[in-house]
Amino acid sequence: MKYKVMYDRGTRLRVRSGQWAFTKNEGHGIASLLMKNDFIDEVYTSHKNGSILIYYDNIKNKSKIFDILNKITLNDLFECEATQKQISKEITDDFILKLAKMLGRRFFGRIFFPIRLKNILTVYHAFEYLWKGIDSLTSFRIDVALLDGAAVAGALWQKDFAPASSMMFLLSISDALEDYTLQKAKSTLKESLALNIDTVWLVGDNGEEKQYPAVEIKKGDKIKIHMGDVIPVDGKVISGDGLVNEASMTGEPLAVHKSYGKTVHAGTVVEEGNLIVEVFSINKETRLNKIIDLIENSENLKAETQSKAEKLADSIVPYSFLATALTYLFTGNSTKALSVLMVDFSCAIKLTTPLSIISAMREASDNRMMVKGGKFLENYATADTIVFDKTGTLTNATPEVVHVFPMSKRYTRDEILKMAACIEEHFAHSIATAIVKQAEKEGLIHEEDHSEVEYIVAHGIVTTYGGKRAVIGSRHFLFDDEGIKINKTQEKKIKKEVAHHSVVYLAIDGKLEGLICIDDPVRDEAKYVIEELKSSGIENVIMLTGDSESGAKSSADALGITQYKSQVLPEDKSRIIEELKAEGKTVIMVGDGINDSPALATADVSVSMKNSSDIAREVADISLLSDDLHDLVTLRKLSTGMLDKINSNYHRIVAVNSTLIGLGVLGAISPSTSSMIHNLSTMLFGALSTKSILGDNYENLGDIDV
């Protein structure tokens, strides 16, 4: 490939190959080709001038990039669909270009066009607003379109071409901004729903499993999806049994049982079990991608505040007409009446509200927070209750074994730990990992002396160990579900030894044989963050956990949380959220695990942490891209600041425009002056709406781990 280096600084490189070097989709193909290299972070291409912008991880890899570019030939070019990140950037670039063209045409026309030509162009552009106004009038709607059309018509009738032109210019910018806001919100949601799966487990005819590139999967292939994995295709279960969470597809928080012959869909997640699926839809043909396409026509991503602003703008219209009519009735002066009509409240309201939302969402992105729509920022700002999962959210999710107690003389302390590690090593749960690590640390090497294990979500594990039935898990699981008996001596020992710890119970052949005490220290910043959230107006802070009462109480005391529930099942978390909402509370749910997904789907607004499971990120309305709870405080400041800015703009708009109406009625200002002040104030409020909420010098309260 022939190219010229246009920019080369740090780990950012831009080269240009010329206008006809590649098509738009071939540019996406080049980006895909370059992104196969681990040292390249992002690639953006522009077919308009053959530009390739490359972000990479280390200056030492620059020579490798040039080697790749030098080896690309015409035969290597292939067409490819844009990624959601590329689409998002194209939306922004197109908006900036559109805005620049609008400003350029306005500036050039005002400076160089003769007055007669400017007036002709004003009349030409007015037809769009006049037509919309006539449509509203004939449909008996008294709305913003009717007011805009009447104001433009009145200005043209009085031959006030400059005020009419200025008003239409600002209205066109307002429409462009509103369109951009919706496109960006939809793009962000589509990006969050898009599946980023590189490889799958392909099952051969002989039953052998091997990793295979996801893009090369074909209809009829058989793939295996393990517990916790996102399903990458639409297909039919041909083997296996499991529970699949379909919240990203149906919105229902509870997992659905899937077995032979049942259909599964891309974007859903296997919560429990393993499935072998025969592929019948891939890529664009999947139901998930069809839903993503439907998002293009959705208006549901608008913030409630933005919708209210538009309704408010429409509601003011009759009063504007009434003020205009009364002014003409009492003064008989059409100039004074036009001065009132030219003051369009809706113009400023419609311009500043989407600008404020765009600004807040951009600032959230700058602070490594992905928000799927303006309405979720609004819900976060108005919430009065926050519910935390404990493990991995309020704690570091790195629990440690602190004690191991044998409960009979049949097994020693080391044997209890060794058996528990042997059973738990098949699962990636943090507590299981802690037990396995402790056994390794103590040199307790174990053999595979058990049958296939059965994992029961949020309860524990059942297997056969040494020919005897073995169960390991929570107190509720062993004593309530499994009916394990416990004598008074054991109960007394449990109360004495395991206070303030989370406990894993091990029973062999129906008898309690061991206790393993686990501690998961709370995050260093967690207590301070909770105090800050309370001071920001969140009245109720609640912790939900599947841990034991003693472990939950210990964590709650350390964090200053007075409301908590222990030994909570996934479906119970969802039910508790529903009960809080029924009490009239607006609820934030913060979680990170598969078992949090029902509650995340149920809450008014949900937040997932950086290291969350795939399903938690899919379901959550807001995803934190750093592993720091301080971001919850930052998000609260940002979201409340957005609403404060919108409310402040509204009061300023009412004050300024009401003053202009009063001056117009008194004849103190002409229609052209009224329009000029109105338009200048609208532009000023628009500029204020883009101002940073957190401040240019704002430093996030925690270190962001990028």
- 69: domain CATH number is 3.30.70
One domain for residues 430 and 310: no
Lowest mean pLDDT segment, chosen from 77-91, 123-137, 180-194, 352-366:
180-194
One domain for residues 71 and 108: no
One domain for residues 72 and 90: no
Lowest mean pLDDT segment, chosen from 280-284, 395-399, 475-479:
280-284
Is residue 111 scored above 60 in pLDDT? yes
Is residue 175 scored above 80 in pLDDT? no
Average pLDDT rounded to a whole number, residues 12-30: 88
Torsion sign across C-alpha atoms 27, 50, 69, 66: negative
Is residue 565 in a domain?
A: no
Average pLDDT rounded to a whole number, residues 151-159: 85
One domain for residues 260 and 335: no
Whether the Cβ atoms of residue 394 and residue 386 lie closer than 8 Å to each other: no
One domain for residues 70 and 88: no
d(CA 334, CA 332): 6
Is residue 215 in a domain?
A: yes
One domain for residues 321 and 179: yes
Is residue 404 scored above 90 in pLDDT? yes
pLDDT of residue 297: 46
The candidate with the shortest Cα–Cα distance to 417, out of 514, 486, 350, 544, is 514
Query: How many domains is the chain partitioned into structurally?
Result: 4
Q: pLDDT tens digit string along 197-243?
A: 667 888 988 888 888 877 778 888 999 988 878 888 888 999 988 88
Whether the Cβ atoms of residue 260 and residue 242 lie closer than 8 Å to each other: no
One domain for residues 441 and 360: no
What 404-407 contacts at long range (C-beta under 8 Å, 24+ apart), as own/partner pairs, is 404/514, 404/515, 404/516, 404/517, 405/493, 405/497, 405/498, 405/514, 405/515, 405/516, 405/517, 406/513, 406/514, 407/490, 407/493, 407/512, 407/513, 407/514, 407/515
Is residue 316 in a domain?
A: yes
One domain for residues 318 and 422: no
Residue type, 256: V
With cut-offs at 50, 70 and 90, classify the pLDDT of residue 448.
low
Is residue 591 in a domain?
A: no
Which one of the listed residues 344, 389, 592, 627 is annotated catalytic?
389
pLDDT of residue 704: 29
Q: pLDDT tens digit string along 506-554?
A: 999 889 999 998 887 888 899 999 999 999 999 999 999 877 777 788 8
One domain for residues 174 and 241: no
d(CA 68, CA 36): 11
Averaged confidence pLDDT in the chain: 81
Interaxial angle between packed helices 115-138 and 161-193, expressed in degrees from 0 to 180 and rounded to the nearest 10: 60
More confident residue, 552 or 104: 104
pLDDT of residue 614: 64
Q: Which of 35, 62, 82 is the last residue of a domain?
A: 82
Residue 326: DSSP 8-state? H
pLDDT of residue 357: 81
Q: What is the CATH number of the domain that holds 479?
A: 3.40.1110.10
Is residue 179 annotated as part of the catalytic site, yes or no? Answer: no
Lowest mean pLDDT segment, chosen from 29-43, 256-270, 285-299, 662-676:
285-299
More confident residue, 32 or 449: 32
Q: What is the CATH number of the domain that holds 242?
A: 2.70.150.10
Is residue 287 in a domain?
A: no
pLDDT of residue 700: 41
More confident residue, 88 or 634: 634
Residue 691: DSSP 8-state? S
Is residue 284 scored above 70 in pLDDT? no
One domain for residues 423 and 460: yes
pLDDT of residue 602: 86
Average pLDDT rounded to a whole number, residues 130-134: 92
The tokens describing 513, both together, are 């044989």
Is residue 467 in a domain?
A: yes
Average pLDDT rounded to a whole number, residues 363-390: 86
One domain for residues 408 and 502: yes
pLDDT of residue 699: 42
More confident residue, 564 or 650: 564
Is residue 568 in a domain?
A: no
pLDDT of residue 633: 94
pLDDT of residue 294: 44
pLDDT of residue 705: 31
pLDDT of residue 65: 92
Q: Which of 59, 82, 105 is the last residue of a domain?
A: 82
Is residue 271 scored above 80 in pLDDT? no
d(CA 298, CA 312): 21
Q: pLDDT tens digit string along 22-46?
A: 888 888 889 888 988 888 888 889 8
Average pLDDT rounded to a whole number, residues 398-423: 89
One domain for residues 368 and 443: no
pLDDT of residue 697: 40
Interaxial angle between packed helices 304-331 and 334-341, expressed in degrees from 0 to 180 and rounded to the nearest 10: 170
More confident residue, 488 or 452: 488
Is residue 581 in a domain?
A: no
Q: Which of 502, 519, 536 is the last residue of a domain?
A: 519
With cut-offs at 50, 70 and 90, classify the pLDDT of residue 131.
very high
Range of the domain at 219: 199-229+234-281
More confident residue, 675 or 259: 259
